[in-house]
Structure 1
Amino acid sequence: MSTPPLWPEELVSTGAEREVLEAFLDCQRRQIKAKLAGVAEEAARRRIVPSKTTPAGLIKHLTAVERNWFHRQLAQRDPAGIPGNSRGDDQSWELGPDDTLDHLIAEYDKVCQESRRIAAGFALDDTVPSERLGRVSLRWIYTHMIEETAQHAGHADILRELIDGATGL
């Protein structure tokens, strides 16, 4: 029996802290997209739980959360200059008529790429002002984003199983 190839996050099992944090955040970003792959458009928008949580809403919300922590908080950009929701609030779950799953995933990819570019300009110990926390470090942002993205990847996993029985990756 052959051993499967290592996942990117496994390749950094003895890596430096930043390398590990980045690999695990990217792992969760891949997970959410993998759980949405192949979901029919109508199913991606349908509410099957009491909350606003839908597969399409999950990716739209996570895009807003990326904008919030990396673009607005870390880069200290004015929210008025950031396209789309940059708060990750209740409104970030709401879908417009043009919010196709393919479009939302493409936007998520674009926003995540910009998040990576922004983070590359900071050290883990660098801090920036935060309305709620006073100051926040890049290390904390990475850890929070791993937690937030993993939580919603778990939601996507359950929704996907309810939609069409698909489990795993």
Structure 2
Amino acid sequence: MTDENAAAQKATLRHYLDRGRQALEWKLEGVSERDARRPMTPTGTNLLGLVKHVATMEAEYLGGCFGRRFPEPMPWIADDAEPNADMWATADESIEDVRTFYRRVQAHADATVEALPLDAPGRVPWWGTPEVTLHRVLVHLIDETARHAGHADIVRELLDGGVGLTATNSNLPDRDAEWWTAYVAHLEELSDQAGS
């Protein structure tokens, strides 16, 4: 692979990782500190926890896995941390604290991507096959970030009805509330018919 092709591939991977990062962060816009932490599923899924988790995973995957440990302590993943502590924020970790943590992680991760070739070897000890390349880890992180951004989409809609791909693009049909109510009622009818 030529340097030019490798640079183009790296730029494509970074583009899609950045899209997921931006979508995830945008879901925090305009949410209160309380609502950012509210568990919206039986397993406690919440907006701020999703961002904290993705930031933590990115710090690990594009940090320690390539011998470039993220320099800040992350006590929520220490051996003595509470279970699942990377999936929620404490009362004194503000939205802005988690957001700026995520941005510092992104800068560290981006420096790793910039410094290493796509075939750079890394180690993911918690995977069954720990030997990896930067390329594989980037693909994994794109998938992980997009998955959790999707979770955040649903959580935000449950919280306050906020939907959309970005602040200026709902990515949904442009319909009024009456149309959406009828649409949901139609889907309820279909599910009732299928269940009888």
Fold equivalence (TM over 0.5): yes
Query: Counterpart of 1:83 in structure 2: which amino acid?
Result: P
Partner of 1:91: 85
* Separation in structure 2 between the aligned mates of residue 118 and residue 50 of structure 1, nearest angstrom: 36
Indicate how the Cα distance of structure 1 residues 106 and 82 shifts in structure 2: closer, same or farther if over 3 A, else same.
closer
Structure 1: tracts of 5 or more residues without a match = 1-14
Amino acid at match of 2:104: K
Q: After TM superposition, list the pairs within 5 Å mapping 1:44-55 onto structure 2.
A: 44-55=36-47
Question: How far apart in 2 are the matches of 1:103 and 1:155?
Answer: 21
CA shift for structure 1 position 75: 2.7
Equivalence for 1:116: 110
Query: 1:76: how far off?
Result: 4.8
**Which residue in the other structure is 1:107 paired with?**
101
Aligned Cα root-mean-square deviation (Å): 1.9
User: Once the two structures are aligned, what percentage of the paired residues are identical?
Assistant: 31
For normalisation by structure 2, the TM-score amounts to: 0.72
Q: Which amino acid aligns with 1:108?
A: Y
2:10 to 13, 18, 30: 18
Rate the CA distance shift 1:32–1:140 in 2: closer, same or farther, 3 A: same
Q: Equivalents in 2 of 1:94, 1:116: separation in Å?
A: 25
Residues 1:125 and 2:119 are matched in the alignment: yes
Aligned length: 152
Q: Quick one: distance in 2 between partners of 1:112 and 1:90?
A: 22
Is the 2:68–2:112 Cα contact (8 Å) retained in structure 1?
no
* Alignment correspondent of 2:24: 32
Q: How far apart, in 2, do the equivalents of 1:99 and 1:66 lie?
A: 19
For structure 2, which runs of at least 5 residues remain unmatched after alignment? Answer: 1-6, 167-196
Q: Could you tell me which residue of structure 2 aligns to residue 163 of structure 1?
A: 159
Q: TM-score, normalised by structure 1?
A: 0.83
Aligned-partner Cα distance in 1 for 2:131–2:88: 30
* Higher radius of gyration, 1 or 2: 2
Aligned twin of 1:61: 53
The residue type paired with residue 31 of structure 1 is A
Residue 132 of structure 2 aligns to a residue whose secondary structure is strand
User: 1:120-152 deviations in whole A, cap 9, x for unaligned?
Assistant: 111001112332323110001110000000000
Residue pair 1:60, 1:104 contacting (<8 A) in 2 also: yes
CA contact (8 A) 1:67 1:115 kept: yes
Instruction: Indicate the residue corresponding to 2:177 in structure 1.
Output: none
Amino acid corresponding to residue 162 of structure 2 in structure 1: A
